[in-house]
Chain A
Amino acid sequence: NAGVTQTPKFRVLKTGQSMTLLCAQDMNHEYMYWYRQDPGMGLRLIHYSVGEGTTAKGEVPDGYNVSRLKKQNFLLGLESAAPSQTSVYFCASSLREKLFFGSGTQLSVL
Chain B
Amino acid sequence: DQQVKQNSPSLSVQEGRISILNCDYTNSMFDYFLWYKKYPAEGPTFLISISSIKDKNEDGRFTVFLNKSAKHLSLHIVPSQPGDSAVYFCAARRAAGTASKLTFGTGTRLQVTL
Most chain A CB inside 10 Å of its own CB: which residue of B41, B49, B99, B107: B99
- The contact size tier of chain B is 20 to 34
Q: In the complex, which residues of chain A have a beta carbon less than 8 angstroms from the beta carbon of B102? A: 43, 45, 99
Given contacts A90-B43, A97-B34, A101-B44, contact A31 B104 (CB under 8 A): no
Q: Chain A: how many interface residues by the 8 Å CB criterion?
A: 28
Q: Report if A77 contacts B (CB, 8 A).
A: no
A75 near B: Cβ within 8 Å?
A: no
Q: Contacts A31-B100, A58-B101 given; indicate if A97 touches B32 (C-beta within 8 A).
A: yes
Question: Which residues on A are within 8 Å of B, measured CB to CB?
Answer: 4, 31, 33, 35, 40-45, 48-50, 56, 58-59, 90, 92, 94, 96-104
Interface residues, chain B, CB within 8 Å of chain A? 4, 6, 32, 34, 36, 41-46, 49, 89, 91, 93, 97-107
